[in-house]
Structure 1
Amino acid sequence: MNSNYFVWIEIEANKRTITNAACFEQAMEKCRAAGIDAVILSVKDTTGFVIYESEIAPHYAEYDEAFEKKDYLKECLETAHRKGLKFYASIDVFAEGNKRKPHEKMPGILRKDWQTYVYGIDEAKKPVIQPVSEKAVINTIGSIDDFGEIFVNPANEEVCSYELSLLNEIMQKYTIDGIVLDRVRYVGLSSDFGPVTKKKWEQQFKDVCSWPEDIYRIKEEKGKLQIEYGNFFGEFLNFRAKTITDFVKRVRKLVDSQDRRLEFLDYTGSWYPLYYHVGANWASKDYDAREYPFVDIQEYKKTGYAEQLDGLLSGFYYPHVTEQEAEEARQPAFWYSVEGAARLAGHVTQNAVTVVGSLFLEQYRENLEDMTRAIRMCFEKSHGCMLFDLSYLVDNDWWSYVSVNEQKGFFLEPLQENDLTELIQLWSECFPEEFQVSAEHLHRCTFLDEQFCPEASLCIRSREGQRLLGAILCKKSESLGKGQNSNAWITALLIKPEFQNRGLGTHLYLAAQKVLSEKPVGRIYAGQDYHNIFSGIPAPDEKKTAFFRKMGFQVNTEEHYDLTADLFGNDKIDRFDTSSFQEKFYAEVLKMEEKQELYRFLQEEFPGIWAESMEEYLENGGSPCEIIVLKELQNRKIAGFCKVHGNCDQNGELGPIGIARAVRGNHAGEYLLHQSLLHLRNLQCNHIRIDWTILKDFYGIFGFQPYRAYRGAVKEL
């Protein structure tokens, strides 16, 4: 994951926004403006109904007349991606109905045998095991839900297969960025005690365990329910945790089987010392759960599933922001605070997974400044922030309290030429040695370039100290004619390393894109500009390419390179046999009177950037001595060209090289390359660089090796 600033969109609370395309688009605009870079849309909630076209689950329109029978997932996904936001689909896994507002098509009602069975005592103080949907009231131990939702049994194979089929359907049909699971757990310590679970349990403990008394007993003392642990209480906790982890592993396998990379996230509460109640062990498999003295620690740690996830959304659902505030409020433990919850989650997961702090916005209604502080704490102490839920932002207009600018103290402003000194310093921190440039070169390729777009070239600064934390430099072509949009290029996008993964890059890019889209621009390239510094995404890795994909770019699957070689003492050049070529071709420096012939050749063979750049070079006083042409002996016509450049410091460059279609296939390109390298050697150039090529093998004939790598990327607006 990247900047990891999420907002959750629950179905019922946001139905006015989800069902109105204009409202949803406006909400996404506000998310983007606030620096939120990802949305999580619940597509199946605890009712069991879905808001997309499913061949498996019933549609929400059958449950709530506010919805039409249409594909809201598709609509919302397209809008979010169009706005440059990542999009995740979420399902409530082991909840399939609602007891307060039941419907015959709820899977948990339709298949009563799927329901979880809860254990408690009735009004007569007698132990009872019954399906969760039963109307008879029983008192239970350790339940975090009030049984309004109809949970289903994670130990039931039919249930698991059903939930997996829904996930597979969603991943197969929609170009989502990932899936998010919620309620991958039991309803509480009271479940599951039904016949399916009992049968599986008895396969291990039939002859030695009395069900459920040897798990635990419930007794009432002084009007309060008390739990009396049985001999197999620890084994029961391990059994349930393994059941949940086995399901999570199946989801991991399903995600990995898709034909494209998807992220797999899970939401859990952060209160790990109490989480054994619901049977989900979201810890690392290397974590010793000493909070649970009733389990065999070595066996229980085998059920840790943090390593199965790409990200854990951990509920820091506390009004107190700091540990000190929780202590002053006499809370039971340090982790009853946002700061403490982050510390606990990081400790339990052992940094095996990216933990994103998650906030329940309603908790800050009485003190909205604490909402801003809590968000800042999530970014400082975890790897991001998730806001639950969008409805609070829309209904209460709390956007300013969650804005990336407000909550981190940053602001955007146009990048100026007098920022160059700071920009070079930032550049030195952001890029490896092979991508460093001089201030003069950066100035020439940006501010002095006629295509430089100052309106879309922005920087982001800290409010305190006005430090330069990031910048984006953009260029734009002139209009391509009536009805045609211009092209634009991101010359560079850089964020100070210690401020990366906080949404600043997203904020900068989206602000620049907004300016460019109003020009209008039809296409944006990552690098590849005239007089470029980068010919694509530099030093591409999964993190960088994922960022550009998140912004809506199509990223090339293969890399291209800058190459380098030394010419002095290069025996590969000296051993190259030219005898067969000299019967058909010869190479020489371009004569000034031949430039019109060269222009015609380039327009016929290489129209576009090569033809334009060569003509621009010569018409602006460039030396023809830096263009080597290949000619056919028979008619002395130009059949190829190569642009070279030599410096007085023994450095040189080899530019584009091209051969006429009619003579390709005869290795004429190798001959022209050889002659061009000899020309550079005669100019006393030794260290030669070649920019922007995929032809490693072709240039490798003469010893060239990659020293910089890139990945091309383009976005259609």
Structure 2
Amino acid sequence: MGTQLGKLEIRPLRLDDEIDVVGVWNRAMGDLFPLRPRLLHQTTLGDPDLQEGDALVAWVEGRPRGFALARSWPPHAAHGEAQGWLEAVVVDPEVQRRGFGTALADEAERHLAAQGITAIWAGGGPAMFFPGVCTELQAGLHFVERRGYALFHRTHDLLGDLDAMPCLSRVDAALEAAGAEVRPCAEDEWEAAEAFLEREFPGTWPRDRRRHRRMGAPAHEIYLLWAKGEIIGLAQTYTDQSPVLGPSVYWAPALGAAEGGLGPIGLAEEWRGRGLGLALLARALEGLQSRGAHRAVIDWTELTGFYGILGFRVWRSYLLGPRVLG
């Protein structure tokens, strides 16, 4: 596929484009969202679910000058939906305001519409670069709103200092009262962890865990909450050195070295209301700290009060919303 508009050519991302695309991205917004080559590869050509035409590069006068990622879940994926995501549109600052971003977004949306997609969301999606459009990127907000996206839902990434995290006696008390314990997932417990997610949180969470597992994610970065011989809770953690990066550590270079991340985290419905969710959170964060992390990000959440108990505060905010096609 190639679309030529004057001096502009839009074509699918190729392996030898990656370094140039990283450069374009970081010139455009590397101060807020510094992109690493391994992250671009993981979320595009290194993703087994990437489809032809999902990742696009805009060439202007023979140079890569823009990038777009627009994805849907492939037909073979469990819990597939007839919706898509415009995950990123980036144009080199040297050639902005010349219509190249619009041309990229047009091509990306046509790619999704050709798959039968009827609603496209700004943000989210399989790569999960962003939960939505970052509120610090005013030009980005205006760009997607002009394209007809109704940005109505606000969500946040939170940042916490693990070295200053309070030690709560109620964490120990809640675990003791339930006869529960938190420990890293062993390799032979992976299938049981997946079954827990399918039962309690079907959809994106187990699907992402399976995809990351195929890409080489280890089991021990997952913390399991056990009671009565059963898994009743799960927390996914990452560090900036994880074999497969998670969204909570995508932008760790913006914070410095030795950063960690957490999410998703969930507790079985019948066990809620006993303080066990906070206990699972605290133990998983302690595990991150033991692996060398000093700060941690919890991505895509509205639960600022819950995470605030352990000192987490809003780091970045996003607006999420769809555009209905046709």
- The bucket for the TM-score relative to the shorter chain is 0.7 to 0.9
Going from structure 1 to structure 2, the CA distance change for 1:557 and 1:542 (only over 3 Å counts) comes to: farther
Q: Following superposition of structure 1 onto structure 2, how do residues 517-556 of structure 1 map, counting pairs within 5 Å?
A: 517-539=113-135, 541=137, 543-556=139-152
Is the counterpart of residue 706 in structure 1 residue 314 in structure 2?
yes
Structure 1: distance between partners of 2:83 and 2:58: 24
2:70–2:85 contact (8 Å) kept in structure 1: yes
Q: 1:588 to 1:475 in 2, by over 3 A?
A: same
1:639 has 2:232 as partner: yes
The 1:442/1:595 distance shift into structure 2, 3 A limit, reads: closer
**1:240 matched residue in structure 2:** none
Q: Could you tell me how far 1:579 is from its partner in structure 2?
A: 4.2
**How far is the alpha carbon of 1:674 from its aligned partner?**
0.8
**1:473 deviation in Å?**
2.4
Higher strand proportion: 2
- Unaligned 5+ runs, structure 1: 1-32, 34-403
Is the 2:71–2:126 Cα contact (8 Å) retained in structure 1? no
1:620-661 Cα offsets, whole Å, 9 max, x none, are 6643322212233xx332221111234667432212110111
Q: Give 1:111-126 correspondences, 5 Å limit.
A: none
Measured in 2, the distance between the counterparts of 1:497 and 1:646 equals 31
Match in the other structure for 1:561: 156
Q: 1:655 to 1:428 in 2, by over 3 A?
A: same
Opposite residue 586 of structure 1, the aligned amino acid is E
TM-score under structure 2 normalisation?
Answer: 0.80
Which position in structure 2 is the counterpart of 1:676? 284
State the secondary structure of the residue aligned to 1:714.
Answer: strand
Q: Retained in 2: the 8 A contact 1:652–1:689?
A: yes
2:182 maps to which residue?
587
Rounded to whole Å, the distance in 2 between the matches of 1:436 and 1:516 is 27
Match of 1:685 in 2: 293
Map 1:133-532 → 2, pairs under 5 A = 405-406=5-6, 409-463=7-61, 466-479=62-75, 486-532=82-128
Deviation at residue 704 of structure 1 after TM alignment: 2.0
Note the alpha carbon deviations across 1:199-232, whole angstroms, 9 max, x for none: xxxxxxxxxxxxxxxxxxxxxxxxxxxxxxxxxx
Q: Which amino acid in 2 is paired with 1:642? A: A
How far is the alpha carbon of 1:480 from its aligned partner? 6.0
CA deviations on 1:411-461 (whole Å, 9 max, x unpaired) are 444443322232222112211423011122212211222233442533334
- In the alignment, the residues of structure 2 paired with residue 442 and residue 513 of structure 1 have an alpha-carbon distance, to the nearest angstrom, of 20
Alignment correspondent of 2:250: none
Provide the TM-score with structure 1 as the length reference: 0.39
Contact 1:629 1:641 in 2 (8 A): yes
Q: 1:644 to 1:541 in 2, by over 3 A?
A: closer
- Cα 1:537–1:651 shift into 2, 3 Å: same
For residues 66-107 of structure 1, what are the alpha-carbon distances to aligned partners after superposition, in whole Å with 9 as ceiling and x for unaligned? xxxxxxxxxxxxxxxxxxxxxxxxxxxxxxxxxxxxxxxxxx
**Aligned residue in 2 for 1:134:** none
Alpha-carbon distance between aligned partners in 1 of 2:306 and 2:129, rounded to the nearest angstrom: 24
How has the CA–CA distance of structure 1 residues 433 and 479 changed in structure 2, closer, same or farther, with 3 Å as cutoff? same
Structure 2 contact 185–219 (Cα < 8 Å) conserved: yes
Instruction: Find the aligned partners of 1:608 and 1:693 in 2 and give their Cα distance.
Output: 17
**Partner AA of 2:71 in structure 1:** K
2 CA distance for matches of 1:417 and 1:556? 36
Give me the whole-angstrom Cα distance separating, in 2, the residues matched to 1:511 and 1:417.
20
Q: Assess if the C-alpha contact under 8 Å between 1:526 and 1:536 holds in 2.
A: yes
Q: Secondary structure at the match of 1:653?
A: strand
- Say whether the 8 Å CA contact 1:537–1:713 is kept in structure 2: no
What is the distance in 1 between the residues matched to 2:314 and 2:97? Answer: 29
Aligned to 2:265: 657
% identical equivalent positions: 26
What's the CA shift for 1:603? 1.7
Cα distance, 1:672 vs structure 2: 1.0
Letter in 1 for 2:177: E
What's 2:246 paired with?
A: none
Instruction: Find the aligned partners of 1:511 and 1:619 in 2 and give their Cα distance.
Output: 30
CA distance in 2, matches of 1:608, 1:690: 20
Q: Cα distance 1:641–1:550, how it changes in 2: closer, same or farther (>3 A)?
A: same
Check conservation: 2:171, 2:275, Cα contact below 8 A: no
Q: Which amino acid aligns with 1:462?
A: V
Q: Which amino acid is 1:640 matched to? A: G
Q: Distance in 2 between matches of 1:673 and 1:485?
A: 30
Q: 1:419 to 1:588 in 2, by over 3 A?
A: closer
1:480–1:549 distance in 2 versus 1, CA, 3 Å: farther
For residue 545 of structure 1, what is the amino acid of its counterpart?
Answer: L
Q: Deviations over 1:558-587 (max 9, x none)?
A: 2x222222323x1x3324532431212332
Distance 1:411 1:623, change over 3 A: closer
Aligned residue for 1:349? none
Query: 2:224 is aligned with what amino acid?
Result: V
1:604 partner amino acid: R
Change (3 A) 1:538 1:499: same
In the superposition, relative to structure 1, how do residues 615 and 448 fare at CA in structure 2: closer, same or farther (>3 Å)? closer
The whole-number CA distance in structure 2 between the counterparts of 1:473 and 1:678 is 35
What is the letter of the counterpart of residue 230 of structure 2? K
Partner SS for 1:552: coil
User: 1:621, 1:446 → 2: CA distance?
Assistant: 15
Where does structure 2 lack aligned partners over 5 or more consecutive residues? 242-256
Change (3 A) 1:614 1:410: closer
Alpha-carbon offset, residue 513 of structure 1 = 1.6
Q: 2:302 — aligned with what?
A: 694
Q: Does residue 573 in structure 1 map to residue 166 in structure 2? A: yes
Give the distance between the partners of 2:16 and 2:291, measured in 1 at CA.
38
| Separation in 2, partners of 1:421, 1:631 | 44
Deviations along 1:170-199, one digit per CA (max 9) or x if unpaired, are: xxxxxxxxxxxxxxxxxxxxxxxxxxxxxx
Count residues in correspondence.
304
Matched residue type, 1:577: R
Q: Indicate the SS of the match to 2:173.
A: coil
Q: CA–CA distance in 1 between the matches of 2:210 and 2:54?
A: 29
Shift of 1:520: 3.1
